[in-house]
Amino acid sequence: MATNKGIKEYDSIISAVFEAIDQMQQQGPVQHVHEEFARRAQLNWELFEKPSALSCVKQYSELMHLQSNISDILKNEFLSGEFDFDEITKAMGEFSSENCLVFVLKNQHEAMNDYGHSIEKWYGTHYRKGRNPLH
């Protein structure tokens, strides 16, 4: 959720995000970062607290159709896979300002008319189509 200042400065925020993405793409995947996340994931797995039965059933029943090995559903939520330089490089190459959607959310809709908003027909969500500030 954006603050009032964030709404006013969204162009510079989006630019900063894509500058950081560009830097990561130029640097390439870093194995020690992956290893740090893997260690944190392992700790989260070891310190996992049992959820309520209802939330557990709901969450994991939705994941069952995505997993090939049902016994790994719970574990896969916490633990990361192996470091694969080529796959990570390929995935990072997909991030660009030309193929993204940016959602700027604000808690209140005051003065939405000033932004030339539209209302989505099924849920009544206010939105505005705009230019990509990076192009």
**pLDDT tens digits, one per residue of 11-47:** 888 889 889 989 989 998 888 988 998 898 888 888 8
Residues 6+ apart with CB under 8 A from 32: none
- Domain residues of the chain, as ranges? 32-82
Phi, psi of 119 (to 5 degrees): -120, 125
CB 46 within 8 A of CB 79: no
Is the pTM value of this prediction over 0.85?
Answer: no
117 near 127, Cβ under 8 Å?
yes
- Left (φ > 0), alpha (ψ -120 to 50) or beta: where does 28 sit? left
Q: What is the pLDDT of residue 134?
A: 65
Q: Cβ contacts of residue 15 below 8 Å, gap of 6+?
A: 133, 134
